[in-house]
Amino acid sequence: MNLDIATTANTGERTPVVEMRSIRKTFLEVTANRDVDFTLYRGEICALLGENGAGKTTLMNVLFGYYAADSGEIHIEGERVSLSSPRDAIARRIGMVHQHFTLVPSQTVLENTVVGRTGGFLLDLDGARRRLLGLQERFGLHVDPDAPVWTLPIGGQQKVEILKALYRDARILILDEPTAVLAPPETKELFSTLRSLAAEGCSVVFISHKLYEVMEIADRVVVLSKGRVVAERRTADTCERELANLMVGRELEERRTTGSGKIGAPVLTVQDITVKNDKGLDAVKELSLDIRSGEVLGMAGVSGNGQRELAEVLFGLRVPDSGSVTLCGEILPPGQPRTAVERGMARIPEDRMTTGLLLELTVEENLVLENHSSFKSHGVLDHAAMGRHADELIEEFGIKTDGRGALAQTLSGGNLQKIILARELSASPRAVVAAQPTRGLDVGAIEYVHRRILEARDRGAGILLISEDLDEVFALSDRIAVIYEGRIMGITDRESADREQVGLWMSGVSGVSRPCA
Protein backbone atom coordinates (compact mmCIF):
# COMPACT_ATOMS: atom_id res chain seq x y z
CA MET A 1 0.00 0.00 0.00
CA ASN A 2 1.36 3.45 -0.92
CA LEU A 3 2.51 5.45 2.11
CA ASP A 4 0.56 8.59 1.19
CA ILE A 5 -2.80 6.83 1.26
CA ALA A 6 -5.09 7.93 4.08
CA THR A 7 -5.79 4.82 6.10
CA THR A 8 -7.26 3.88 9.44
CA ALA A 9 -7.87 0.24 8.56
CA ASN A 10 -6.36 -2.19 11.03
CA THR A 11 -5.83 -5.55 9.36
CA GLY A 12 -4.36 -7.20 12.45
CA GLU A 13 -3.26 -10.78 11.92
CA ARG A 14 -5.83 -11.59 9.25
CA THR A 15 -4.82 -13.73 6.31
CA PRO A 16 -4.77 -12.07 2.87
CA VAL A 17 -6.46 -14.16 0.18
CA VAL A 18 -5.97 -11.62 -2.62
CA GLU A 19 -3.04 -9.26 -3.09
CA MET A 20 -3.02 -7.04 -6.16
CA ARG A 21 0.23 -5.12 -6.44
CA SER A 22 0.91 -2.08 -8.63
CA ILE A 23 -1.90 -2.93 -11.05
CA ARG A 24 -1.98 -0.67 -14.10
CA LYS A 25 -4.59 -0.90 -16.85
CA THR A 26 -4.91 1.50 -19.78
CA PHE A 27 -7.55 1.72 -22.50
CA LEU A 28 -6.14 3.71 -25.43
CA GLU A 29 -5.19 7.02 -23.79
CA VAL A 30 -7.25 6.51 -20.61
CA THR A 31 -5.55 4.97 -17.59
CA ALA A 32 -8.26 3.23 -15.57
CA ASN A 33 -5.96 1.83 -12.85
CA ARG A 34 -2.75 3.59 -11.84
CA ASP A 35 -0.42 1.30 -9.88
CA VAL A 36 -3.22 0.10 -7.60
CA ASP A 37 -2.51 -1.97 -4.51
CA PHE A 38 -5.49 -3.89 -3.16
CA THR A 39 -5.69 -6.58 -0.49
CA LEU A 40 -8.67 -8.74 0.44
CA TYR A 41 -8.67 -10.77 3.65
CA ARG A 42 -10.27 -14.08 4.50
CA GLY A 43 -13.79 -13.82 5.86
CA GLU A 44 -14.24 -10.09 5.28
CA ILE A 45 -16.66 -7.98 3.27
CA CYS A 46 -14.68 -5.18 1.64
CA ALA A 47 -16.46 -2.33 -0.16
CA LEU A 48 -14.94 -0.62 -3.19
CA LEU A 49 -16.11 2.98 -3.42
CA GLY A 50 -15.46 5.64 -6.03
CA GLU A 51 -17.07 7.98 -8.52
CA ASN A 52 -17.93 6.83 -12.02
CA GLY A 53 -14.71 6.15 -13.86
CA ALA A 54 -12.68 5.76 -10.67
CA GLY A 55 -11.52 2.30 -11.77
CA LYS A 56 -13.46 0.04 -9.40
CA THR A 57 -15.04 -2.30 -11.93
CA THR A 58 -11.91 -2.33 -14.10
CA LEU A 59 -9.82 -3.46 -11.13
CA MET A 60 -12.22 -6.30 -10.35
CA ASN A 61 -12.43 -7.27 -14.01
CA VAL A 62 -8.66 -7.66 -13.90
CA LEU A 63 -9.03 -9.92 -10.86
CA PHE A 64 -11.71 -11.97 -12.62
CA GLY A 65 -9.62 -12.37 -15.77
CA TYR A 66 -11.77 -10.24 -18.10
CA TYR A 67 -8.91 -7.81 -18.61
CA ALA A 68 -5.19 -8.43 -18.52
CA ALA A 69 -3.29 -5.85 -16.50
CA ASP A 70 -0.61 -3.92 -18.37
CA SER A 71 1.67 -4.34 -15.37
CA GLY A 72 1.55 -5.50 -11.78
CA GLU A 73 1.11 -8.77 -9.90
CA ILE A 74 -1.79 -10.77 -8.49
CA HIS A 75 -1.33 -13.21 -5.62
CA ILE A 76 -4.05 -15.64 -4.54
CA GLU A 77 -3.54 -17.40 -1.20
CA GLY A 78 0.09 -16.26 -1.29
CA GLU A 79 0.81 -17.65 -4.76
CA ARG A 80 1.52 -15.40 -7.73
CA VAL A 81 -0.97 -16.24 -10.48
CA SER A 82 -1.75 -15.35 -14.08
CA LEU A 83 -5.44 -14.71 -14.71
CA SER A 84 -5.84 -14.43 -18.47
CA SER A 85 -9.53 -15.39 -18.60
CA PRO A 86 -12.54 -15.88 -16.31
CA ARG A 87 -11.87 -19.62 -16.57
CA ASP A 88 -8.52 -19.03 -14.85
CA ALA A 89 -10.22 -16.98 -12.13
CA ILE A 90 -12.93 -19.61 -11.57
CA ALA A 91 -10.22 -22.25 -11.25
CA ARG A 92 -8.76 -20.08 -8.47
CA ARG A 93 -12.17 -20.08 -6.77
CA ILE A 94 -13.09 -16.53 -7.73
CA GLY A 95 -16.68 -15.70 -8.71
CA MET A 96 -18.19 -12.46 -10.00
CA VAL A 97 -21.79 -11.25 -10.17
CA HIS A 98 -22.08 -8.42 -12.69
CA GLN A 99 -24.59 -5.57 -12.80
CA HIS A 100 -26.13 -7.17 -15.88
CA PHE A 101 -26.76 -10.84 -15.28
CA THR A 102 -25.35 -13.53 -17.57
CA LEU A 103 -28.17 -16.05 -17.23
CA VAL A 104 -30.02 -17.84 -20.03
CA PRO A 105 -33.67 -16.79 -19.52
CA SER A 106 -35.22 -19.86 -21.18
CA GLN A 107 -33.27 -22.33 -19.03
CA THR A 108 -34.16 -23.39 -15.50
CA VAL A 109 -32.35 -22.36 -12.35
CA LEU A 110 -30.67 -25.77 -12.17
CA GLU A 111 -29.59 -25.67 -15.82
CA ASN A 112 -28.14 -22.18 -15.44
CA THR A 113 -26.29 -23.21 -12.31
CA VAL A 114 -24.57 -26.29 -13.74
CA VAL A 115 -23.86 -25.08 -17.28
CA GLY A 116 -20.18 -25.47 -18.02
CA ARG A 117 -19.64 -27.85 -15.09
CA THR A 118 -20.35 -31.27 -16.57
CA GLY A 119 -17.25 -32.99 -15.24
CA GLY A 120 -17.36 -35.29 -18.25
CA PHE A 121 -19.70 -36.29 -21.06
CA LEU A 122 -22.63 -37.08 -18.76
CA LEU A 123 -24.19 -34.77 -16.20
CA ASP A 124 -25.61 -36.22 -12.99
CA LEU A 125 -28.66 -33.94 -12.67
CA ASP A 126 -29.89 -35.67 -9.53
CA GLY A 127 -26.54 -35.10 -7.86
CA ALA A 128 -26.43 -31.53 -9.13
CA ARG A 129 -29.91 -30.89 -7.74
CA ARG A 130 -28.91 -32.24 -4.31
CA ARG A 131 -25.84 -30.06 -4.27
CA LEU A 132 -27.78 -26.98 -5.38
CA LEU A 133 -30.43 -27.52 -2.71
CA GLY A 134 -27.68 -27.95 -0.13
CA LEU A 135 -26.16 -24.59 -1.11
CA GLN A 136 -29.57 -22.95 -0.98
CA GLU A 137 -30.19 -24.24 2.52
CA ARG A 138 -26.70 -23.38 3.71
CA PHE A 139 -26.74 -19.76 2.57
CA GLY A 140 -30.45 -18.92 2.53
CA LEU A 141 -30.63 -18.62 -1.27
CA HIS A 142 -34.00 -20.30 -1.77
CA VAL A 143 -35.27 -20.44 -5.35
CA ASP A 144 -37.12 -23.18 -7.27
CA PRO A 145 -34.49 -25.24 -9.19
CA ASP A 146 -37.02 -26.06 -11.92
CA ALA A 147 -38.27 -22.51 -12.52
CA PRO A 148 -37.29 -20.93 -15.85
CA VAL A 149 -35.09 -17.94 -15.08
CA TRP A 150 -37.32 -15.56 -17.02
CA THR A 151 -40.13 -16.17 -14.52
CA LEU A 152 -38.03 -15.04 -11.55
CA PRO A 153 -38.00 -11.52 -10.10
CA ILE A 154 -34.72 -9.62 -10.26
CA GLY A 155 -33.83 -10.62 -6.72
CA GLY A 156 -34.35 -14.28 -7.59
CA GLN A 157 -32.14 -13.99 -10.66
CA GLN A 158 -29.40 -12.48 -8.54
CA LYS A 159 -29.64 -15.47 -6.19
CA VAL A 160 -29.06 -17.75 -9.18
CA GLU A 161 -25.93 -15.79 -10.13
CA ILE A 162 -24.57 -16.18 -6.61
CA LEU A 163 -25.48 -19.88 -6.58
CA LYS A 164 -23.62 -20.32 -9.89
CA ALA A 165 -20.48 -18.93 -8.29
CA LEU A 166 -20.86 -21.03 -5.15
CA TYR A 167 -21.55 -24.16 -7.21
CA ARG A 168 -18.13 -23.57 -8.76
CA ASP A 169 -16.61 -23.54 -5.26
CA ALA A 170 -15.99 -19.79 -5.19
CA ARG A 171 -14.38 -18.57 -1.99
CA ILE A 172 -13.81 -15.05 -3.30
CA LEU A 173 -17.01 -13.36 -4.49
CA ILE A 174 -17.12 -10.03 -6.35
CA LEU A 175 -20.46 -8.22 -6.58
CA ASP A 176 -20.73 -5.18 -8.88
CA GLU A 177 -23.50 -2.78 -7.74
CA PRO A 178 -25.57 -5.75 -6.51
CA THR A 179 -28.41 -3.73 -4.98
CA ALA A 180 -29.03 -1.43 -7.95
CA VAL A 181 -32.22 -3.25 -8.97
CA LEU A 182 -33.33 -4.69 -5.62
CA ALA A 183 -36.16 -3.64 -3.34
CA PRO A 184 -35.15 -3.09 0.31
CA PRO A 185 -36.41 -6.52 1.50
CA GLU A 186 -34.36 -8.17 -1.27
CA THR A 187 -31.34 -6.11 -0.22
CA LYS A 188 -31.82 -7.29 3.35
CA GLU A 189 -31.88 -10.92 2.13
CA LEU A 190 -28.72 -10.34 0.10
CA PHE A 191 -26.91 -8.86 3.09
CA SER A 192 -27.91 -11.84 5.22
CA THR A 193 -26.43 -14.14 2.57
CA LEU A 194 -23.19 -12.14 2.40
CA ARG A 195 -22.80 -12.28 6.17
CA SER A 196 -23.30 -16.06 6.08
CA LEU A 197 -20.65 -16.36 3.38
CA ALA A 198 -18.18 -14.26 5.36
CA ALA A 199 -18.88 -16.27 8.51
CA GLU A 200 -17.85 -19.43 6.63
CA GLY A 201 -14.57 -17.85 5.55
CA CYS A 202 -15.55 -16.55 2.11
CA SER A 203 -14.27 -13.11 1.13
CA VAL A 204 -16.57 -10.59 -0.56
CA VAL A 205 -15.82 -7.50 -2.64
CA PHE A 206 -18.87 -5.21 -2.63
CA ILE A 207 -18.76 -2.54 -5.36
CA SER A 208 -21.30 0.17 -4.65
CA HIS A 209 -22.00 3.90 -4.60
CA LYS A 210 -24.68 3.63 -1.90
CA LEU A 211 -22.91 4.82 1.23
CA TYR A 212 -25.77 3.81 3.53
CA GLU A 213 -25.46 0.21 2.38
CA VAL A 214 -21.68 0.19 2.53
CA MET A 215 -21.78 1.31 6.15
CA GLU A 216 -24.28 -1.46 6.94
CA ILE A 217 -22.61 -4.42 5.23
CA ALA A 218 -18.87 -3.79 4.85
CA ASP A 219 -16.10 -4.45 7.36
CA ARG A 220 -13.64 -2.31 5.45
CA VAL A 221 -13.83 0.31 2.69
CA VAL A 222 -11.30 1.08 -0.03
CA VAL A 223 -11.86 4.36 -1.90
CA LEU A 224 -10.63 4.87 -5.46
CA SER A 225 -10.32 8.17 -7.30
CA LYS A 226 -9.01 8.69 -10.83
CA GLY A 227 -7.61 5.18 -10.94
CA ARG A 228 -5.79 5.30 -7.61
CA VAL A 229 -6.50 4.11 -4.08
CA VAL A 230 -6.85 7.30 -2.04
CA ALA A 231 -8.17 5.98 1.26
CA GLU A 232 -8.86 2.89 3.29
CA ARG A 233 -11.15 2.79 6.31
CA ARG A 234 -12.78 0.36 8.67
CA THR A 235 -16.48 1.13 8.65
CA ALA A 236 -16.37 1.25 12.45
CA ASP A 237 -13.99 4.21 12.18
CA THR A 238 -15.73 6.31 9.54
CA CYS A 239 -19.11 7.70 8.46
CA GLU A 240 -21.05 8.30 5.25
CA ARG A 241 -20.05 11.95 5.06
CA GLU A 242 -16.32 11.25 5.34
CA LEU A 243 -16.53 8.56 2.67
CA ALA A 244 -18.43 10.88 0.33
CA ASN A 245 -15.81 13.59 0.81
CA LEU A 246 -13.02 11.10 0.15
CA MET A 247 -14.70 9.99 -3.08
CA VAL A 248 -14.85 13.50 -4.53
CA GLY A 249 -11.74 14.90 -2.90
CA ARG A 250 -13.49 17.86 -1.27
CA GLU A 251 -16.01 18.80 1.40
CA LEU A 252 -19.53 18.18 0.15
CA GLU A 253 -22.48 20.34 1.14
CA GLU A 254 -24.98 18.94 3.61
CA ARG A 255 -28.12 17.64 1.91
CA ARG A 256 -31.13 19.79 2.67
CA THR A 257 -33.87 17.84 4.34
CA THR A 258 -36.35 20.56 5.32
CA GLY A 259 -39.39 21.35 3.23
CA SER A 260 -39.94 24.64 1.48
CA GLY A 261 -42.66 25.64 3.92
CA LYS A 262 -44.68 27.05 1.02
CA ILE A 263 -46.68 24.07 -0.19
CA GLY A 264 -49.71 25.24 -2.14
CA ALA A 265 -52.40 23.94 -4.45
CA PRO A 266 -51.85 21.11 -6.96
CA VAL A 267 -50.05 22.21 -10.12
CA LEU A 268 -49.88 18.78 -11.76
CA THR A 269 -52.70 16.26 -11.46
CA VAL A 270 -52.69 12.74 -12.85
CA GLN A 271 -56.19 11.26 -12.95
CA ASP A 272 -56.86 7.54 -13.55
CA ILE A 273 -54.04 7.14 -16.08
CA THR A 274 -53.72 3.75 -17.77
CA VAL A 275 -50.94 3.25 -20.30
CA LYS A 276 -49.44 0.29 -22.14
CA ASN A 277 -45.76 -0.53 -22.47
CA ASP A 278 -43.95 -1.38 -25.70
CA LYS A 279 -45.23 -4.97 -25.49
CA GLY A 280 -48.86 -3.86 -25.38
CA LEU A 281 -49.30 -4.74 -21.70
CA ASP A 282 -50.68 -2.39 -19.07
CA ALA A 283 -47.67 -0.73 -17.43
CA VAL A 284 -49.62 1.93 -15.52
CA LYS A 285 -53.07 1.07 -14.18
CA GLU A 286 -55.62 3.73 -13.21
CA LEU A 287 -52.97 5.77 -11.42
CA SER A 288 -53.86 9.08 -9.77
CA LEU A 289 -51.55 11.65 -8.16
CA ASP A 290 -51.45 15.32 -7.18
CA ILE A 291 -48.17 17.25 -7.14
CA ARG A 292 -48.48 20.52 -5.27
CA SER A 293 -46.71 23.83 -5.65
CA GLY A 294 -43.58 24.03 -3.51
CA GLU A 295 -43.19 20.31 -2.83
CA VAL A 296 -41.18 17.35 -4.02
CA LEU A 297 -43.26 14.21 -4.39
CA GLY A 298 -40.78 11.36 -4.58
CA MET A 299 -41.89 8.23 -6.42
CA ALA A 300 -39.97 5.17 -5.27
CA GLY A 301 -40.06 1.77 -6.92
CA VAL A 302 -37.97 -1.02 -8.34
CA SER A 303 -37.15 -0.61 -12.04
CA GLY A 304 -39.80 -1.83 -14.46
CA ASN A 305 -42.93 -1.03 -12.48
CA GLY A 306 -44.31 1.60 -14.84
CA GLN A 307 -42.10 4.56 -13.98
CA ARG A 308 -40.77 5.03 -17.51
CA GLU A 309 -44.19 4.82 -19.13
CA LEU A 310 -45.70 7.26 -16.63
CA ALA A 311 -42.92 9.78 -17.22
CA GLU A 312 -43.36 9.48 -20.99
CA VAL A 313 -47.09 10.18 -20.67
CA LEU A 314 -46.36 13.27 -18.58
CA PHE A 315 -43.70 14.36 -21.07
CA GLY A 316 -46.18 13.92 -23.93
CA LEU A 317 -44.07 11.19 -25.52
CA ARG A 318 -46.61 8.39 -24.97
CA VAL A 319 -50.39 8.47 -25.34
CA PRO A 320 -52.36 6.90 -22.46
CA ASP A 321 -55.24 4.50 -23.03
CA SER A 322 -57.37 6.41 -20.55
CA GLY A 323 -57.18 9.12 -17.94
CA SER A 324 -55.97 12.70 -18.01
CA VAL A 325 -53.08 14.96 -17.02
CA THR A 326 -53.89 18.46 -15.79
CA LEU A 327 -51.27 21.21 -15.57
CA CYS A 328 -52.19 24.38 -13.68
CA GLY A 329 -55.89 23.68 -14.09
CA GLU A 330 -55.82 22.87 -17.81
CA ILE A 331 -55.99 19.36 -19.25
CA LEU A 332 -52.95 18.61 -21.40
CA PRO A 333 -53.69 17.14 -24.81
CA PRO A 334 -52.02 13.69 -24.95
CA GLY A 335 -48.95 13.21 -27.10
CA GLN A 336 -48.14 16.92 -27.42
CA PRO A 337 -44.87 17.65 -25.61
CA ARG A 338 -44.63 21.19 -26.98
CA THR A 339 -47.93 22.13 -25.35
CA ALA A 340 -46.71 20.82 -21.99
CA VAL A 341 -43.56 22.94 -22.26
CA GLU A 342 -45.48 26.04 -23.31
CA ARG A 343 -47.79 25.68 -20.30
CA GLY A 344 -44.90 25.51 -17.85
CA MET A 345 -43.71 21.92 -17.53
CA ALA A 346 -40.01 21.14 -17.28
CA ARG A 347 -38.83 17.65 -18.14
CA ILE A 348 -35.68 15.92 -16.95
CA PRO A 349 -35.80 12.62 -18.86
CA GLU A 350 -34.50 9.25 -17.73
CA ASP A 351 -32.19 8.83 -20.72
CA ARG A 352 -30.40 12.10 -21.22
CA MET A 353 -28.53 10.78 -24.26
CA THR A 354 -31.54 9.91 -26.41
CA THR A 355 -34.54 11.89 -25.16
CA GLY A 356 -32.91 14.81 -23.37
CA LEU A 357 -30.29 16.02 -25.82
CA LEU A 358 -29.17 15.93 -29.42
CA LEU A 359 -25.53 15.03 -29.03
CA GLU A 360 -24.61 15.99 -32.58
CA LEU A 361 -25.70 19.58 -31.91
CA THR A 362 -23.75 22.23 -30.01
CA VAL A 363 -24.09 23.15 -26.37
CA GLU A 364 -25.81 26.38 -27.42
CA GLU A 365 -28.30 24.59 -29.66
CA ASN A 366 -29.19 22.12 -26.90
CA LEU A 367 -29.68 24.95 -24.41
CA VAL A 368 -32.40 26.50 -26.59
CA LEU A 369 -33.74 23.25 -28.00
CA GLU A 370 -37.29 23.62 -26.68
CA ASN A 371 -37.38 27.42 -26.62
CA HIS A 372 -35.77 28.54 -29.87
CA SER A 373 -38.98 30.26 -31.03
CA SER A 374 -38.48 32.94 -28.36
CA PHE A 375 -35.28 33.96 -30.15
CA LYS A 376 -37.02 34.60 -33.45
CA SER A 377 -37.59 38.08 -34.80
CA HIS A 378 -39.81 38.30 -37.89
CA GLY A 379 -39.25 34.59 -38.44
CA VAL A 380 -35.44 34.87 -38.27
CA LEU A 381 -33.36 33.45 -35.42
CA ASP A 382 -31.42 36.06 -33.44
CA HIS A 383 -28.16 34.14 -33.09
CA ALA A 384 -26.53 36.88 -31.03
CA ALA A 385 -29.31 36.68 -28.43
CA MET A 386 -29.08 32.89 -28.44
CA GLY A 387 -25.36 33.13 -27.83
CA ARG A 388 -25.76 35.55 -24.93
CA HIS A 389 -28.43 33.32 -23.40
CA ALA A 390 -26.23 30.24 -23.74
CA ASP A 391 -23.22 32.01 -22.21
CA GLU A 392 -25.32 33.11 -19.23
CA LEU A 393 -26.56 29.57 -18.61
CA ILE A 394 -23.09 28.06 -19.03
CA GLU A 395 -21.81 30.40 -16.33
CA GLU A 396 -24.82 30.13 -14.01
CA PHE A 397 -24.97 26.33 -14.09
CA GLY A 398 -21.20 25.78 -14.15
CA ILE A 399 -21.19 23.78 -17.39
CA LYS A 400 -17.63 22.73 -18.16
CA THR A 401 -17.21 23.09 -21.91
CA ASP A 402 -14.81 24.53 -24.44
CA GLY A 403 -17.53 27.01 -25.32
CA ARG A 404 -21.11 27.23 -26.46
CA GLY A 405 -20.04 26.02 -29.91
CA ALA A 406 -18.66 22.72 -28.59
CA LEU A 407 -20.56 19.61 -29.59
CA ALA A 408 -22.63 18.17 -26.75
CA GLN A 409 -21.12 14.74 -27.36
CA THR A 410 -17.74 16.02 -26.09
CA LEU A 411 -19.08 16.69 -22.57
CA SER A 412 -19.12 14.39 -19.54
CA GLY A 413 -22.34 12.88 -18.23
CA GLY A 414 -22.52 15.36 -15.38
CA ASN A 415 -22.15 18.33 -17.70
CA LEU A 416 -24.73 16.91 -20.11
CA GLN A 417 -27.15 16.76 -17.21
CA LYS A 418 -26.29 20.37 -16.37
CA ILE A 419 -27.31 21.38 -19.91
CA ILE A 420 -30.72 19.77 -19.34
CA LEU A 421 -31.09 21.39 -15.92
CA ALA A 422 -30.12 24.79 -17.32
CA ARG A 423 -32.56 24.53 -20.21
CA GLU A 424 -35.45 23.19 -18.16
CA LEU A 425 -35.14 25.08 -14.88
CA SER A 426 -33.98 28.52 -16.02
CA ALA A 427 -37.47 29.42 -17.25
CA SER A 428 -38.99 29.05 -13.73
CA PRO A 429 -41.36 26.17 -14.58
CA ARG A 430 -44.60 25.53 -12.71
CA ALA A 431 -44.08 21.76 -12.64
CA VAL A 432 -40.98 19.59 -13.03
CA VAL A 433 -40.98 15.88 -13.85
CA ALA A 434 -37.53 14.52 -12.99
CA ALA A 435 -37.09 10.89 -14.04
CA GLN A 436 -33.97 9.22 -12.60
CA PRO A 437 -32.19 12.63 -12.64
CA THR A 438 -28.94 11.40 -11.10
CA ARG A 439 -28.63 7.99 -12.77
CA GLY A 440 -25.05 7.37 -13.84
CA LEU A 441 -23.70 10.52 -12.19
CA ASP A 442 -20.88 10.76 -9.67
CA VAL A 443 -21.26 12.10 -6.15
CA GLY A 444 -20.30 15.67 -7.01
CA ALA A 445 -22.75 15.85 -9.91
CA ILE A 446 -25.50 14.27 -7.79
CA GLU A 447 -24.99 16.93 -5.14
CA TYR A 448 -25.38 19.63 -7.81
CA VAL A 449 -28.55 18.12 -9.31
CA HIS A 450 -30.15 17.81 -5.88
CA ARG A 451 -29.42 21.44 -5.08
CA ARG A 452 -30.98 22.65 -8.33
CA ILE A 453 -34.10 20.54 -7.82
CA LEU A 454 -34.61 21.96 -4.34
CA GLU A 455 -34.05 25.50 -5.60
CA ALA A 456 -36.81 24.96 -8.18
CA ARG A 457 -39.08 23.66 -5.42
CA ASP A 458 -38.32 26.69 -3.25
CA ARG A 459 -39.33 28.97 -6.13
CA GLY A 460 -42.75 27.34 -6.06
CA ALA A 461 -42.51 24.57 -8.64
CA GLY A 462 -44.18 21.24 -8.00
CA ILE A 463 -41.62 18.46 -8.46
CA LEU A 464 -42.34 14.82 -9.30
CA LEU A 465 -39.09 12.98 -8.55
CA ILE A 466 -39.11 9.48 -10.04
CA SER A 467 -36.12 7.60 -8.65
CA GLU A 468 -34.96 4.06 -7.93
CA ASP A 469 -32.48 5.43 -5.36
CA LEU A 470 -34.27 5.23 -2.03
CA ASP A 471 -31.65 7.40 -0.32
CA GLU A 472 -32.35 10.11 -2.89
CA VAL A 473 -36.12 9.84 -2.41
CA PHE A 474 -35.84 10.13 1.37
CA ALA A 475 -33.35 13.01 1.16
CA LEU A 476 -35.32 15.25 -1.20
CA SER A 477 -39.01 14.45 -0.85
CA ASP A 478 -41.76 16.16 1.11
CA ARG A 479 -44.05 13.21 0.36
CA ILE A 480 -43.18 9.72 -0.84
CA ALA A 481 -45.31 7.56 -3.15
CA VAL A 482 -44.43 3.97 -4.07
CA ILE A 483 -45.31 2.45 -7.43
CA TYR A 484 -45.59 -1.31 -7.91
CA GLU A 485 -46.83 -3.00 -11.08
CA GLY A 486 -48.24 0.29 -12.30
CA ARG A 487 -50.25 1.14 -9.21
CA ILE A 488 -49.62 3.38 -6.22
CA MET A 489 -49.14 1.11 -3.21
CA GLY A 490 -49.07 3.92 -0.68
CA ILE A 491 -48.26 7.56 -0.09
CA THR A 492 -46.74 8.96 3.09
CA ASP A 493 -45.28 12.23 4.22
CA ARG A 494 -41.55 12.03 4.72
CA GLU A 495 -41.64 12.94 8.39
CA SER A 496 -43.52 9.75 9.29
CA ALA A 497 -42.03 7.53 6.57
CA ASP A 498 -39.77 4.62 7.44
CA ARG A 499 -37.69 2.46 5.15
CA GLU A 500 -39.29 -0.80 6.23
CA GLN A 501 -42.79 0.30 5.25
CA VAL A 502 -41.61 1.84 1.99
CA GLY A 503 -39.62 -1.30 1.26
CA LEU A 504 -42.69 -3.47 1.79
CA TRP A 505 -44.67 -1.32 -0.63
CA MET A 506 -41.86 -1.62 -3.17
CA SER A 507 -42.19 -5.40 -2.86
CA GLY A 508 -45.94 -5.30 -3.44
CA VAL A 509 -47.04 -5.68 0.18
CA SER A 510 -49.98 -3.33 0.58
CA GLY A 511 -50.95 -1.40 3.65
CA VAL A 512 -52.71 1.74 4.76
CA SER A 513 -50.77 4.86 3.88
CA ARG A 514 -49.85 7.29 6.59
CA PRO A 515 -51.42 10.73 6.61
CA CYS A 516 -49.84 13.19 4.22
CA ALA A 517 -49.25 16.84 5.02
| φ, ψ of residue 273 in degrees (nearest 5) | -75, 130
Look at residue 470 in the predicted model and tell me its pLDDT: 86
Q: Which helix (H) or strand (E) holds 424?
A: helix 413-425
Look at residue 5 in the predicted model and tell me its pLDDT: 44
How far apart (Å, rounded) are the C-alpha atoms in residues 494 and 440?
25
Look at residue 183 in the predicted model and tell me its pLDDT: 77
**Is the residue at 5 inside a domain?**
no
Look at residue 258 in the predicted model and tell me its pLDDT: 58
Mean pLDDT, to the nearest integer, of 113-125? 69
| Cα angle for residues 94, 100, 104 (degrees, 5° grid) | 85
**414 falls in which pLDDT band (50, 70, 90)?**
confident
**Is the residue at 439 inside a domain?**
yes
Give the number of C-alpha atoms closer than 13 A to the C-alpha of residue 154, restricted to the C-beta side.
Answer: 19
Residues 212 and 284 in one domain: no
Contacts with 26 (C-beta within 8 Å, 6 or more apart), sequence order: 32, 70
Look at residue 192 in the predicted model and tell me its pLDDT: 93
Look at residue 514 in the predicted model and tell me its pLDDT: 43
Look at residue 63 in the predicted model and tell me its pLDDT: 96
Q: Which helix (H) or strand (E) holds 131?
A: helix 125-139
**Is the residue at 7 inside a domain?**
no
Long-range contacts of 175-179 (CB under 8 A, 24+ apart): 175/96, 175/97, 175/204, 175/205, 175/206, 175/207, 176/57, 176/60, 176/96, 176/97, 176/98, 176/99, 176/207, 177/99, 177/207, 177/208, 177/209, 178/97, 178/206, 178/207, 178/208, 179/208, 179/210, 179/213
Q: Is 277 left (phi over 0), alpha (psi -120 to 50) or beta?
A: beta
**89 falls in which pLDDT band (50, 70, 90)?**
very high
Residues 310 and 191 in one domain: no
**148 falls in which pLDDT band (50, 70, 90)?**
very high
Give the number of C-alpha atoms closer than 13 A to the C-alpha of residue 81, restricted to the C-beta side.
Answer: 26
Task: From 248, 281, 300, give the residue that closes a domain.
Answer: 248
**Is the residue at 9 inside a domain?**
no
DSSP of 426-465: TT--SEEEEESTTTT--HHHHHHHHHHHHHHHHTT-EEEE
**Is the residue at 23 inside a domain?**
yes
Using one digit for the tens of pLDDT, what is the confidence trace for 45-58? Answer: 999 998 777 889 89
Q: Does 455 have pLDDT greater than 60?
A: yes
Contacts with 358 (C-beta within 8 Å, 6 or more apart), sequence order: 365, 366, 369, 408
Angle, helices 443-458 vs 240-248, to 10°: value is 110
Q: How high is the mean pLDDT of the chain?
A: 87
Using one digit for the tens of pLDDT, what is the confidence trace for 226-245? Answer: 899 999 999 999 998 898 88
Residues 97 and 68 in one domain: yes
Using one digit for the tens of pLDDT, what is the confidence trace for 333-346? Answer: 998 988 988 899 99
Q: Does 257 have pLDDT greater than 60?
A: no
Our count of domains for the chain comes to 2
3-state class of 418 per DSSP?
A: helix
Q: How far from 221 is each of 43, 298, 342, 414, CA to CA, in Å? A: 14, 30, 48, 25
Residues 407 and 274 in one domain: yes
Using one digit for the tens of pLDDT, what is the confidence trace for 63-86? Answer: 999 999 999 999 999 999 999 999
Kindly state the percentage of the chain with pLDDT values over 90.
55
Q: Does 117 have pLDDT greater than 50?
A: yes
Of the candidates 13, 72, 80, the one whose C-alpha atom is nearest the C-alpha of residue 42 is 13
Look at residue 253 in the predicted model and tell me its pLDDT: 61
Kindly state the percentage of the chain with pLDDT values over 70.
92
**Is the residue at 42 inside a domain?**
yes
Residues 96 and 206 in one domain: yes
**Is the residue at 8 inside a domain?**
no
Residues 233 and 127 in one domain: yes
Q: Does 1 have pLDDT greater than 70?
A: no
Residues 462 and 410 in one domain: yes
Residues 224 and 111 in one domain: yes
Task: From 248, 279, 294, give the residue that closes a domain.
Answer: 248
CATH of the domain at 218: 3.40.50.300
Look at residue 10 in the predicted model and tell me its pLDDT: 52
Residues 38 and 173 in one domain: yes
Look at residue 380 in the predicted model and tell me its pLDDT: 80
**Is the residue at 74 inside a domain?**
yes
Residue 229 belongs to what domain range?
A: 16-248
Range from 248-257, 311-320, 491-500, 504-513 carrying the lowest mean pLDDT: 248-257
Residues 192 and 80 in one domain: yes
Residues 278 and 243 in one domain: no
Residues 94 and 237 in one domain: yes
